[in-house]
Chain A
Amino acid sequence: MYKIISFQLANEVYGINVENVGEILKKIEIAEVPNTNPYIEGVINLRGNVIPVVNLVKKFNLKQNRDNNLEDKIIVIDDIEEQVGVLVDDVREVIKIEADMIEEVPKIYTELPKEFYAGVVNIEGRMIILLDILKILSLKEEEV
């Protein structure tokens, strides 16, 4: 059994494994870092640690036609060498799923490189795209 955290990016709902998540923050002040890739939002002060924040909408080149009722959140990803925050358009819920619920990613999802996807799950008629967030953050150099 897995637990995933689902969150919204542009018009889609995505999910990542809870085990990779350190904590979820309300959007706090982000200090811009000049001369970095546009998808780097900047850095935040997480209890005295300076950690970078990646804007996934920009990183994935998604069309941003967002609903203004969404509340930006920063998901702190923990399971890597150092913490990295990802900026998302609202976090929805934690969902329990079974391994056999995970299906292969349909061919229509081609926005991202294949290795970024971990699969899809169908929860009450709604598709949730599972992301391999560690892979996404480790391939920072590549332009998506």
Chain B
Amino acid sequence: MQDLFDTSQFREDFIEETVEILDSLDKELIKLENEPDNMELLNSIFRAVHTLKGSSAFLNFLTIKDLAHVVESVFDKLRNKKLTLTSNIMDVIFEAYDYFKLMVNKVIDEGTDKMDISSILNKLENIKEYGDSKEKTSKTKKQSNKKAEEEKVKFNTDTEKSVEQIIEKTDSNEIDIVNKENLLEKEDDVSDEIEEDIDYESETLSKESKIPNSASQQVKGLHSIRVDTRRVDVLMNLVSELVTGRNRLIQVGSQFKSEDLDESLFFIEKVVTEVQSAVMKIRMVPLEKVFSRFPRIVRDLEKKLEKNIKFIIEGEETELDRVVSDEIYDPLLHMIRNAVDHGVEIPEVRKKNKKNEQGTIILKAKQEDNFVYIDITDDGKGIDYKVIREKAIKKGIITREQSDNMSEYDIINLIFAPGFSTTEEVTEVSGRGVGMDVVKSSIEKLGGIVDIITEYGKGSTFRIRLPLTLAIMQVLIIGVANKKYAIPLNSVLETIRIEKTEIKTISGEEVIFLREKTLPIVYLSSVFNIEEYEKMDKKLNIVVLGIGANRVGLVIDEMYGKQEIVIKPLGKYLGKVEGITGTTILGDGTIIMILDSGLIANEGKSFSKKKNFIKSEKTFHKKTINVLYVEDSTTMQKMAKRALELNGYRVDTVFNGIEGLEKIKEKKYDLIISDYNMPNMNGYEFFKEIKNNDEYKFIPKILLTSENIDIEDGEWGELNLSAYLKKPFNEDKMIKTIENIFREG
């Protein structure tokens, strides 16, 4: 019989449906834990498991069917009040749930659900027959068997991964188009199906009609038109073409002064805009899909960390472009783990601080204009800027002098600086070797920004702002050195025109004063290998860019105004190009680059710099230069080594002057770069030794210091330094300084 069917097609449907059922089950089980007497919920779960039983039996996945059958009967007893839900029972149910996930994963990977489920079956049968034999009076989760708990957590981390795989496999290529009209009708379908099952017939039906809310929510997930995303992408591309064509029409049309033409252009424009937004809506998926994965993770974590946390999700119906939605899971996961791990205190501490013993974490999404905001708020201990400051200084991210000039806000934002959260403090929970800098950069890659609002002792909010879609963008078109570029408008704060003389140089960095605040000035040539002309004009056009806390002024030649453009990716062949997020085709058919405003904004903040683009032909040809880099901060060592090596230098690093003197005996160096402040032997003493040694005294020396010094005079003059670099400096400056030394030499 079965051979008559195309079973593979059925199998795909089964997998899709099952993943959806498990997704919503996950949420409902968490909810059930807090509301064990909620009849609607019990019924809804019962029905879901029942569906699972039916479909798995149909496709001969008998292990899933067997487990579903027992779970179903447990829930049948629960909803008929023949059994009381306890925390122990809940744990077993969760374990069964994990088995479902494992088996579905196995179906996807191996096409079979065969696995040993005897232990869970026994546990469930026990519960079915005798209830919770270990039942204790208290229902708090905290008191349940700890060892079992730990095992479970371990187990969960495995299944978490497998569920991700499932979701990737089944969901990533599909979008649901919910047909609201169909909802009611489909509800009937569900009822029909249940009717066939004699065991539970009457009751299920009567409940069905009483619970429109949860039922329709479930049905919504199950019944929708499925469209391969590739088809939607094709449609989106065609719409992009249409938008480009429209732009071109408007450009051409403006040359003719014809009312008729203008009118039809206006009409076309209107329709194209509507088509565009309609297609874009197809690409939108509710955040629910992403959000629904978190309650379970929070639940497992809080148990493991012995915390008591209420996790609230709001606005999960908010819709977002599928691409953005897919990419946002990891950063959110990291921040939520942080909130559980570092944010919310353990109950004893909270009690001592006169806070509610149960902490709260709120994950909230909302749409405003063309952005979606996601807030992760905890009422935990907040962030102490003093701790951040000390740590940042210790890690060499900033100097103490620098920190004196920084606002609390700026200091707190240092947690996003590369190298701030390193492996040292990675806990099992928040760890995984990912720092907040990665979170930040992945959000920025999506065209978003992340911000922190925190009050020490009261809690923190991480606020993410994301664009609704990645396909179409508002940009400012500018010109530098006779070429046009596009800057995403969401990063443009304002455009100003200043006198050239307003640019001041402060410790080697060009800045202007804008409303009494310093604004670092950057040129496009510092990001790209382009020649900029000497600006003849006495006035300069500047675009003020703001990404998170970073503000910089980008010097430009021309301003062509803003435009809505269609983003065309650079494609796989070119891969990721530093400084460019994509391209767009203008109305006249020319292609222009969309600038990575995040990278440019970082240009102005030298400590967070990471540039590794290819220096093409313009780098002058040099023989291999061996550099000894003496510095006690590992982070600085790594950064400098990387920057130097990218520019063709060979680099050895040591931690202080004494080691430096040892190293120099082993190998001939062409250049020594040394920090001033180091343990054992500082930079001054080290260079003095070098200078007094006949063999080494001609090696060029660069000192790194946070002071302004005069290398020609006084005690510094005695060292015969080639140059000094004032900390903090950026890689470019270091490279330029070195190039100058060898060019002169």
Q: Which of A33-41, A92-100, A101-109 contacts B (4 or more CB under 8 A)?
A: A33-41
User: B571, A36: Cβ atoms under 8 Å?
Assistant: no
User: B530, A50: Cβ atoms under 8 Å?
Assistant: no
User: B570, A34: Cβ atoms under 8 Å?
Assistant: no
> Chain B 228-246, CB within 8 Å of chain A: the 1/0 string?
0000000001001100100
Whole-angstrom distance from the CB of A29 to the nearest CB of chain B?
Answer: 7
Q: How far is the CA of A53 from the CA of B400 in the complex (A)?
A: 49
Q: How far is the CA of A33 from the CA of B580 in the complex (A)?
A: 9
Whole-angstrom distance from the CB of B504 to the nearest CB of chain A?
Answer: 29
| B597 on the A face (CB < 8 A) | no
Residues from chain A with a CB closer than 8 A to the CB of B617 are 38
Whole-angstrom distance from the CB of A42 to the nearest CB of chain B?
Answer: 8
Residues from chain A with a CB closer than 8 A to the CB of B578 are 35
| B528 on the A face (CB < 8 A) | yes
Query: In the complex, which of the residues B240, B572, B579 contacts A48, with contact meaning CB atoms closer than 8 Å?
Result: B240
Residues from chain A with a CB closer than 8 A to the CB of B613 are 35
The tally of residues in A whose CB lies under 8 Å from a CB in B reads 23
Residues from chain A with a CB closer than 8 A to the CB of B569 are 50
Q: How far is the CA of A35 from the CA of B526 in the complex (A)?
A: 11
Query: In the complex, which of the residues B568, B570, B585, B589 contacts A33, with contact meaning CB atoms closer than 8 Å?
Result: B570
Chain B contacts with A in 599-620, Cβ cutoff 8 A: 613-614, 616-617
Residues from chain A with a CB closer than 8 A to the CB of B240 are 48
Q: A34-B528, A35-B580, A50-B568 are in contact. Are A40 and B574 (CB under 8 A)?
A: yes
Chain B contacts with A in 475-533, Cβ cutoff 8 A: 483, 527-530
Chain B residue at minimal CB-CB distance from A33 = B577
Q: Which of A31, A34, A82 has the most CB of B within 10 A?
A: A34
Whole-angstrom distance from the CB of B739 to the nearest CB of chain A?
Answer: 19
Residues from chain B with a CB closer than 8 A to the CB of A37 are 614, 616
Chain B contacts with A in 398-444, Cβ cutoff 8 A: none
Residues from chain B with a CB closer than 8 A to the CB of A33 are 570, 574, 577, 580, 583, 593
Chain A contacts with B in 17-52, Cβ cutoff 8 A: 29, 31-38, 40, 43-45, 48-52
Q: How far is the CA of A142 from the CA of B590 in the complex (A)?
A: 30
Q: A35-B579, A48-B241, A48-B244 are in contact. Are A140 and B593 (CB under 8 A)?
A: no
| B591 on the A face (CB < 8 A) | yes
User: B591, A34: Cβ atoms under 8 Å?
Assistant: no
Chain A residue at minimal CB-CB distance from B578 = A35
User: A31, B616: Cβ atoms under 8 Å?
Assistant: no
User: A45, B591: Cβ atoms under 8 Å?
Assistant: yes
Query: In the complex, which of the residues A45, A50, A137 contacts B571, with contact meaning CB atoms closer than 8 Å?
Result: A50
| A124 on the B face (CB < 8 A) | no
Whole-angstrom distance from the CB of A37 to the nearest CB of chain B?
Answer: 6
Residues from chain A with a CB closer than 8 A to the CB of B577 are 33-36
Chain A residue at minimal CB-CB distance from B617 = A38
| B573 on the A face (CB < 8 A) | yes
Residues from chain A with a CB closer than 8 A to the CB of B574 are 33, 36, 40, 43, 52
The tally of residues in B whose CB lies under 8 Å from a CB in A reads 31
Q: How far is the CA of A44 from the CA of B571 in the complex (A)?
A: 12
Residues from chain B with a CB closer than 8 A to the CB of A31 are 583, 590-593
| A115 on the B face (CB < 8 A) | no
User: A38, B616: Cβ atoms under 8 Å?
Assistant: yes
Whole-angstrom distance from the CB of B598 to the nearest CB of chain A?
Answer: 15
User: B244, A34: Cβ atoms under 8 Å?
Assistant: no
Residues from chain B with a CB closer than 8 A to the CB of A140 are 573
User: A35, B528: Cβ atoms under 8 Å?
Assistant: yes
Q: How far is the CA of A38 from the CA of B569 in the complex (A)?
A: 20
Whole-angstrom distance from the CB of B273 to the nearest CB of chain A?
Answer: 18
Residues from chain A with a CB closer than 8 A to the CB of B529 are 34-35
Residues from chain B with a CB closer than 8 A to the CB of A82 are 571-573
Q: How far is the CA of A52 from the CA of B593 in the complex (A)?
A: 13
Q: A31-B593, A34-B529 are in contact. Are A45 and B572 (CB under 8 A)?
A: no
Chain A residue at minimal CB-CB distance from B585 = A45
Q: How far is the CA of A40 from the CA of B616 in the complex (A)?
A: 11
Whole-angstrom distance from the CB of A38 to the nearest CB of chain B?
Answer: 5
Residues from chain A with a CB closer than 8 A to the CB of B614 are 35-37
User: A43, B572: Cβ atoms under 8 Å?
Assistant: no
User: B580, A34: Cβ atoms under 8 Å?
Assistant: yes
Q: Which of A31, A50, A137 has the most CB of B within 10 A?
A: A50
Chain A residue at minimal CB-CB distance from B611 = A35
| A128 on the B face (CB < 8 A) | no
Residues from chain B with a CB closer than 8 A to the CB of A43 are 570, 574, 583, 591
Chain B residue at minimal CB-CB distance from A43 = B591
Q: How far is the CA of A35 from the CA of B528 in the complex (A)?
A: 6
| A5 on the B face (CB < 8 A) | no
Residues from chain B with a CB closer than 8 A to the CB of A111 are none
Chain A residue at minimal CB-CB distance from B574 = A52
**Extra contacts besides A34-B577, A35-B579, A36-B614 (13): CB < 8 Å:** A31-B583, A33-B580, A34-B527, A34-B580, A35-B528, A35-B614, A37-B614, A43-B574, A45-B585, A48-B241, A49-B568, A52-B571, A82-B571
Cross-chain pairs A/B with CB under 8 angstroms, 14 sampled? A33-B570, A33-B583, A33-B593, A34-B528, A34-B580, A35-B528, A35-B577, A36-B577, A36-B614, A43-B591, A44-B591, A45-B585, A48-B240, A48-B585
For the complex of A and B, list the 10 residue pairs with the smallest distance between their C-beta atoms, beginning with the closest: A34-B528, A31-B591, A35-B613, A50-B568, A35-B578, A48-B241, A38-B616, A52-B573, A50-B583, A52-B574
